């Protein structure tokens, strides 16, 4: 999914959707690390604050969990939702 700069959805919502789709497709397995803020900035060309919003959104939805100093990882719930 490409990020549409003039879309009705904010960029951070679009990027969160892309990461959730990657989890659904099995690109990120349970307990596997998802892209960091820096990696999101690099891949999608967005500001760090936008990347932070993506990760906060994914944590709020229970898709990922944070480990201080290590990053964000896929939860069991994320893969359970696929079934």
Give the per-residue SS3 of the chain: CCCCCCCCCCHHHHHHHHHHHHHHCCCCCCCCECCCHHHHHHHHCCCHHHHHHHHHHHHHCCCEEEECCCEEEECHHHHHCCC
Question: What is the per-residue pLDDT for 60?
Answer: 96
Question: What is the per-residue pLDDT for 4?
Answer: 76
Chunked in runs of 10, what are the mean pLDDT values of the chain (83 residues)?
76 95 95 97 95 97 96 84 46
- Would you state the CATH architecture of domain 11-80? Orthogonal Bundle (1.10)
Question: What is the per-residue pLDDT for 77?
Answer: 79
Q: What is the reported pTM?
A: 0.86
Ranges of each domain in the chain: 11-80
């Amino acid at each position: 999914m490409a990020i549409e700069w003039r879309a009705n959805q904010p960029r951070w919502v679009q990027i969160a959707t892309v990461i959730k789709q990657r989890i659904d497709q099995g690109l990120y397995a349970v307990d596997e690390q998802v892209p960091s803020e820096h990696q999101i900035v690099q891949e999608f060309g967005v500001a760090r604050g936008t990347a932070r919003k993506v990760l906060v959104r994914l944590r709020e939805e229970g898709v990922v969990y944070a480990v201080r100093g290590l990053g964000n990882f896929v939860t069991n719930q994320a893969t359970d939702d696929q079934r």
